[in-house]
Amino acid sequence: MRTASSLTRVLAAPVTVALALPLAACGTGGSGSGDATITVAYQKFGNFTQADELFKNVKADYEEANPGITVELVPIEAAQNDYFTKLALMNRSPATAPDVMYEDTYMIKSDVEAGYLLPLDDYLAEWDEWDQFVDSAKQAGLGDDGRTYGVPMGTDTRGLWFNKDVLAEAGLPADWAPSSWDDILEAARAIKQSDPDVIPFNMYSGKPMGEASVMQGFEMLLYGTGDTLYEDGRWVLGSQGFVDSLEFIETVFSEGLAPTPQQALDTNIGNTVQAEWLPDGKVGIALDGSWLPGNWLESGVAPWPEWSEKIGTAAMPTQNGAAPGAVSMSGGWTLAVGAGTEVPDEAFEFVATALNRENSLWFDVANSQIAVRTDVAEDPEYTESNPTTGFFTDLVDVTHFRPATSDYPQVSNAIMVAMESVMTGQQTPEEAAAVYDETVAGIVGDEHTTQG
């Protein structure tokens, strides 16, 4: 494992180098006309500040290397759903649409359909670093037309994090490894009995946490049942796995094994879990992402030198232990160029500079991302930076991806509603699933659905 001094050197600041692409004289009226401003919009919220630091450093070096170009950073301080809303509002007006934007992979196809993103294929064909990106990561940036609209920054997987001290007090082993949902519930009940002041189990649920609720909450359950959201070009309705997943949510909230609904519906709960509850032993088990250690590194927002000794990891099991025995979900963020940019050459050069080898290495280490560049994945600075890197990388073998369709964001919102109605006791799992089925049919049309 890397020493503290060497890790500090790696994380001190992103490294930027000028991109070896021809840069025309640029201008606000279009590439090649003089001075220009590149606007870069991205999410800056809670504990996730690594992108902000990356872009600040890229801005400084980019402007130094390209006199006459000003990079204007537009950090959007908002939770995930609000970030998407604010970014969409910016994109609706040429006066506010950014030249470069921080784009979640699951939003790419809907944003392409809305006309917000510029295809990058011609630029990528000339970029000698594009062949370092793995093919599966490249797929995440594709639109329905097969063209590429986003360059991946990294990817992730999801699993169970647990505080070893909390589990030990409940009589559970330091190498706890559940093989079914029942094992998770039994462990949560043991934690509750041993210390009623500790939240036994956290999973995100409801609308305030947005896609975090759907992807690393609900879908981690659903894909563990053997069912799916989308199959052969149709949305699956009437799924027993969908109901079973809602029943699990009902159980953990109704038995007091999860945060209270008031706590769970706080938009800051993600930051609280990562920076406070897990380190302070206020939560026993958390279903969360591979990026958590980024908060706990010396350069993170909540440094915790002992985290690797105090925290354990386990794969999220399938519902009843059926093959392959574990489940995960993968996503990630990209950098994209706005369709209406007047300086496309300069905007792409900013993207390519931000995601060159050196900056990708810095970002993946600082943000505990799974590398999507082969040269970064093989670098000792990356492989030795985090003792959980190997564990979460191995989960790629059992991972799933969200349906890559333009209507997925609307379907995702319907799942949030179903989760929230069950966790708050407003509907039974069966009732919430029925409402979901009706809502999805209304969004996509009956001809685009199938019965599970």
For residue 120, the model assigns a pLDDT of 98
Residue 97 lies in a domain: yes
| pLDDT above 70 for 439 | yes
How far apart CA 153 and CA 162 sit, in angstroms, is 27
Give residue 45's pLDDT. 78
Query: Does residue 139 fall inside a structural domain?
Result: yes
| Mean pLDDT computed over 240-245 | 98
Q: Is residue 411 part of a domain?
A: yes
What is d(CA 342, CA 208) in angstroms, rounded to the nearest whole number? Answer: 35
Residue 30, classed as helix, strand or coil, is coil
pLDDT at 201 over 90: yes
Q: Which of 350, 367, 390 is the last residue of a domain?
A: 390
Question: Are residues 380 and 258 located together in one domain of the fold?
Answer: no
Q: Report d(CA 88, CA 103) in Å as an integer.
A: 11
Separation between Cα atoms, residue 72 and residue 88, nearest integer Å? 18
Task: Kindly state whether residues 136 and 186 are assigned to the same domain.
Answer: no
- Residues 309 and 353 reside in one and the same domain: no
Instruction: Answer yes or no: is 396 within a domain.
Output: no
User: Residue 366 pLDDT more than 60?
Assistant: yes
Q: What is the pTM of this model?
A: 0.83
The residue segments making up the domain with residue 44 are 4-156+331-390
Residue 395 falls inside a structural domain: no
User: Residue 397: inside a domain, yes or no?
Assistant: no
- Same structural domain, 321 and 426: yes
Distance of alpha carbon 229 from alpha carbon 402, whole angstroms: 8
Task: Give the pLDDT of residue 34.
Answer: 57
Peptide bond between residue 324 and the one before it cis (omega within 30 degrees of 0): yes
Based on the domain organization, do 54 and 90 belong to the same domain? yes
User: What CATH number did the domain enclosing 322 receive?
Assistant: 3.40.190.10
Are the C-beta atoms of 39 and 99 separated by less than 8 Å? yes
Q: Which residue's structure tokens are 């905007």?
A: 347
Q: What is the pLDDT of residues 295-333, one digit of tens each?
A: 898 878 899 999 999 999 999 999 999 999 999 999 989
Q: DSSP secondary-structure letter at 356?
A: S
Confidence at residue 42, expressed as pLDDT on a 0 to 100 scale: 96
Average pLDDT, the chain: 91
Q: Which residue has the tokens 């985090």?
A: 386
| Residues 200, 317 within the same domain | yes
Total number of domains constituting the chain: 2
Q: Which of 362, 390, 418 is the last residue of a domain?
A: 390
pLDDT at 335 over 70: yes
Which residue is associated with the tokens 């109901």? 243
In this structure, the answer to whether residues 285 and 409 fall within a common structural domain is yes
Contacts of 357-362 with CB under 8 Å at 24 or more apart are 357/129, 357/132, 358/14, 358/15, 358/16, 358/17, 359/14, 359/15, 359/16, 359/54, 359/57, 359/58, 360/153, 360/154, 361/10, 361/15, 362/10, 362/11, 362/13, 362/14, 362/15, 362/54
- Say if residue 16's pLDDT is above 50: no
CA distances from 425 to 71, 240, 252, 365, 428 (A): 49, 20, 12, 41, 7
Same domain, 221 and 347: no
pLDDT at residue 15 in the model: 45
Q: Please check whether residues 298 and 342 belong to one and the same domain.
A: no
pLDDT in tens, 52-97: 999 999 999 999 999 999 999 999 998 877 899 999 999 999 999 9
Is residue 354 located within the same domain as residue 340? yes
Percent of the chain with pLDDT over 70: 92
Please check whether residues 192 and 234 belong to one and the same domain: yes
* Same domain flag for 88 and 184: no
Check pLDDT > 90 for residue 14.
Answer: no
